């Protein structure tokens, strides 16, 4: 069971609508929809508030460990939180499996994430509006959001996921939804005002987005 399924099952168990849960947490309904569909995950204060609203253990919400009805207060000493560097889109574009394009020791900005990621994970601050869904439905990743990216991925598990990719000849990486319609592959914006990009041999998937952190 993924985190989104745990959130949805617990919400239904408490007989809460998405709108009611959103009001309790202090977010909009679209955000709850995104959490439940695993388009992005709650982090920081939102995670703690969500666990309180669902009357459950935040550890259980994150990774299914333990009993949801036990230890409802966040325990920092056992809660898995990782600090990852926020890098530039140029650095992300130069990332490869043998050369990360950046080093943790050289990073000046960091962010904490509750997502399950490796030590190679990094974060990016979203620019522009290509991933902002104008219809107000999830997923949507507005400008200013921070995405947590896992570069150690299985190529077979990326279809339909939000990814960071690099196109040969470009300086910066890009954030898009990866769609495979064999034998073709595409990078699709969530905003239809922007163009879909073909992702063939000239396209390299840098990593998959594991969490989106937004301020409200």
Q: Rounded CA gap, 126 and 88, in Å? A: 10
Q: Which residues pair with 209 in a beta bridge?
A: 149
pLDDT > 50? residue 192? yes
Confidence of residue 115 (pLDDT cuts 50, 70, 90): confident
Summarize the confidence of residues 95-102 as an average pLDDT. Answer: 60
Per-residue model confidence as pLDDT tens digits over 121-177: 999 999 999 999 887 666 889 999 999 999 998 888 899 999 999 999 899 999 999
pLDDT of residue 100: 58
pLDDT of residue 174: 96
Per-residue model confidence as pLDDT tens digits over 73-95: 444 434 457 889 999 999 998 87
pLDDT of residue 75: 46
pLDDT of residue 60: 85
Summarize the confidence of residues 86-110 as an average pLDDT. Answer: 74
More confident site: 101 or 62: 62
pLDDT of residue 78: 42
Q: What is the mean pLDDT of the chain?
A: 84
pLDDT > 90? residue 65? no
pLDDT of residue 183: 86
pLDDT of residue 74: 46
pLDDT > 80? residue 66? no
pLDDT of residue 214: 78
Taking residue 196's Cβ as centre, other Cβ atoms within 10 Å add up to: 13
User: How would you write the chain as a 3-class SS string?
Assistant: CCHHHHHHHHHHHCCCCHHHHHHHHCCCHHHHHHHHCCCCCCCHHHHHHHHHHCCCCHHHHHHCCCCCCCCCCCCCCCCCCEEEEEECHHHHHCCCCCCCCCCHHHCCCEEEECCCCCCCCEEEECCCCCCCCCCCCCCCCCCCCEEEEECCCCHHHCCCCEEEEEECCCCCCEEEEEEEECCEEEEECCCCCCCCEECCCCEEEEEEEEEEECCC
pLDDT > 50? residue 102? yes
In this structure, which long-range contacts are made by residues 6-13, counting pairs with CB atoms below 8 Å and at least 24 apart in sequence? 6/60, 6/61, 6/64, 6/68, 7/32, 7/35, 7/36, 7/50, 7/54, 7/61, 8/36, 10/54, 10/56, 10/61, 10/68, 11/36, 11/54
Structure tokens at 52: 């309180």
pLDDT of residue 72: 47
């Amino acid at each position: 069971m993924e985190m989104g399924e745990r959130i949805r099952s617990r919400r239904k168990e408490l007989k809460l609508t998405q709108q009611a849960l959103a009001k309790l947490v202090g977010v909009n309904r679209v955000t709850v929809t995104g959490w439940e569909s695993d388009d992005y995950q709650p982090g920081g204060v939102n995670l703690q508030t969500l666990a309180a609203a669902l009357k459950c253990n935040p550890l259980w919400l994150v990774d299914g460990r333990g009993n949801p009805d036990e230890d409802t207060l966040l325990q920092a000493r056992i809660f898995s939180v990782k600090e990852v560097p926020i890098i530039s889109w140029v650095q992300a574009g130069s990332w490869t499996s043998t050369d990360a394009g950046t080093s943790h020791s050289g990073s000046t900005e960091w962010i904490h994430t509750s997502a399950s990621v490796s030590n190679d994970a990094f974060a990016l601050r979203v620019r522009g509006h290509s991933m902002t869904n104008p219809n107000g439905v999830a997923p949507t990743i507005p400008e200013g959001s921070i995405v947590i990216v896992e570069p150690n991925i299985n190529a077979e598990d990326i279809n339909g996921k939000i990814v960071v990719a690099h196109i040969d000849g470009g300086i910066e990486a890009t954030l898009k939804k990866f769609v495979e319609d064999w034998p073709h592959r595409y990078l699709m914006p969530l905003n239809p005002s922007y163009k879909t990009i073909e992702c063939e041999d000239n396209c390299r998937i840098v990593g998959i987005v594991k969490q989106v952190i937004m301020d409200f």
